[in-house]
Homo-oligomer: A and B are copies of this chain.
Amino acid sequence: MDLDILINSLRNYDGITRKNFIRGATQILDETYNIGGRTALGFGDDASALDIGNDTLLLMAADGMWGRLIEGDPRWAGYCSVLVNVNDIAAMGGVPMGMTNVISVNKEDICNEIMLGIKEGVEKFGIPMVGGHIHPDTPYTALDVSITGIVGKDDVITSCGAKIGDSVIIGMDLDGRQHPKFPLNWDTTSHKTPELVQSQITVMNSIAKKHLLTAGKDISNPGILGTLGMLLEASGVGAIVELEKIPRNKKVSWDEWLKVYPGSGFVLTSKEENVKECIEMLQEVNITSQVAGIITEDKKLNLRHDNQEKVVFDFNHDIIMGIKEERS
């Protein structure tokens, strides 16, 4: 395998490049993100956190579904809108409470398909869709979902806490299939029981309560290394990752695997003494986990394979989201 070709393919993957736009848009809100004085974490993490007292943080996230997903399979898009939001709360170590949605449609049958998909997601993940807004007459179809969860103030898992020397743990549920219409959707939940799927969410809350991690994110559109890249950006550090240590279903090529959006997958960092317990807890719920690298001072994400080591992102020049996060 040519590491340069793999890296070049990743660097030009639109799941990663689309994240570039975030910085320009959100910096307008920089001055006001802590208005009210409750914001513990603003833009840049999987969910934002607001201090509501009683040692509790409110977690809030929002996700819009890609238009091509809704057009290609509105029911699957509805299902995924639940999946991605619930995973955003799980990635913060939180307990999801409920969701709202905004649907823009002009065909009743498409709207029905989206709602049926949402219902399947709600039943699978056990989190209710409690409200929202419908535009019944738009010239386009769109689906946006937001979620609110809660987490203990001292338990929250952020993207910004990775420290030099920490282990990089990659956890992926390998029992899945590439969605027939969207090969980069690594579907690990459709065929599983709600119990198992929900245990993959609640395990993150258990890990959070035990303070086993220094940072974590759920793997989303930017894929495994793109997601790790955002974590490194937010933490202001780098990492060296050994390709073959990343848990993979061998039916999927590396090029595709590194870009998949998994039903359950996390990029985590942990102090060495906590790695074993963390991995055991993840393995118990079918998330195959392994130390795949180490956090470095050098602000680069380097990938190693077959005695080669190449730079995937150099954060001295490259930007994914471009947000270095600070906890208020």
Q: Which residues of A contact B (CB under 8 A)?
A: 18, 20-22, 24-26, 28-29, 31-36, 38-39, 41-43, 45, 47-50, 52, 54, 58, 60-64, 66-67, 97-104, 108, 111-112, 115-116, 118-119, 122-123, 126-140, 142, 144, 146, 148, 150
Contacts and interface: CB of A to CB of B under 8 A. Distances in A.
A29 B119 contact: yes
A138 B43 CA distance: 21
11 contacts: A21-B134, A28-B116, A29-B129, A32-B129, A35-B123, A35-B127, A43-B131, A50-B97, A60-B148, A61-B131, A62-B102
Given A29-B118, A128-B34, A146-B62, A140 B139 contact: yes
Contacts of A54: 54
A232 to B, nearest CB: 20
Nearest to A32: B122
B50 A130 contact: yes
Closest A-B pairs by Cβ, 4 of them: A48-B130, A21-B136, A48-B131, A146-B146
A25 B32 CA distance: 36
Given A122-B32, A126-B36, A128-B33, A97 B22 contact: no
Given A97-B52, A100-B48, A103-B25, A128 B62 contact: no
Contact of A144 (B32, B35, B102): B102
B119 A28 contact: yes
A52 B151 CA distance: 11
Given A29-B115, A118-B29, A130 B60 contact: yes
Copies in the complex: 2
Nearest to A100: B62
Contacts of A43: 130-132
B18 A131 contact: no
B98 A39 contact: yes
B115 A38 contact: no
B28 A115 contact: yes
A40 to B, nearest CB: 9
Nearest to A64: B102
B144 A133 contact: yes
A131 B119 CA distance: 25
A133 B60 contact: no
A42 B134 contact: no
Nearest to A62: B100
A29 B62 contact: no
Contacts of A100: 48, 60-62, 146
Given A25-B115, A58-B148, A60-B131, 9 more contacts: A25-B103, A32-B129, A33-B128, A38-B98, A42-B128, A47-B131, A50-B97, A63-B133, A148-B148
Contact of A127 (B29, B36, B131, B135): B36
Given A25-B103, A144-B102, A129 B33 contact: yes
Contact of A42 (B48, B112, B130): B130
A291 B212 CA distance: 59
Given A119-B28, A119-B32, A123-B32, A38 B144 contact: no
